[in-house]
Amino acid sequence: MSSDDRLIVALDVPNALQGLKLAEQIGDAVSFYKIGLGMLTGGGLALANELKDEHGKRIFLDMKLFDIGATVEAAVRGLAQFDLDFLTVHGDPHVVAAAKEGAAGSNLKILGVTILTSLDRTDLDNCLIKEGEIKDLVQERAGRAFDAGADGVIASPQEAALIRALPESEGRLIVTPGVRPAGAALGDQKRVATPANAVADGADHIVVGRPVWTADDPRAAAQAIVTELASAQAKRPNH
């Protein structure tokens, strides 16, 4: 069975050795992996390079960078030398613009984070985020990130259709964490959808972690998602 790079599997395990073991278990069922902050001190960059250079995998580096512009630009310039595929930064326009400067001359795609999929309105209130429905705030942040030059945005699958409806989304990527196959535990995710629904609503890529790497058979779990992405339920309207 061939892989589908619309599926990105999050290697949210403690270190590079466990990440490599998991990727080897999954084999050719998955072509795209996400490596995040949790593995940064456990050899995450080394694993990213090994998976890309020796196993031909695509890599999404999920760093969610946020700082003053000069610092973000310098950090992204350093990361761009690894020739990876996606990098996340917070979706604030000044951060996105600085990241694009740092990525100049490379193929690294800069994705702006809108609102984390683990947050709901109560969480936003506690963080002093302005009033409004999450879906509206996500759409607004996505539009501003696109205007600042983002190659794509990170949002929950519940907001994918709203973002895809933005004129600015033409030719841009929508990547959705918070994707859970039917029957899977939600964990710390609050705004979720199934793989098929996320893609049908406009996501270009879905990110799935625990439902794959905690499964008794991670390869089979990944293959089941790939099968779902090929189903009629995952077809976008008018496509």
Active site residues: 64
Q: How far apart are CA 75 and CA 98, in angstroms?
A: 10
Residue matched to tokens 């625990």: 210
With tokens 């989304």, the residue in question is 169
Side-chain-side CA neighbours of residue 3 (13 Å): 20
Asked whether the CA dihedral 92, 82, 70, 149 is positive or negative, the reply is negative
> In sequence order, which residues have a C-beta less than 8 Å from that of residue 143 and are 6 or more positions away?
166, 168
**How far from 98 is each of 22, 112, 171, 234, CA to CA, in Å?**
34, 12, 21, 35
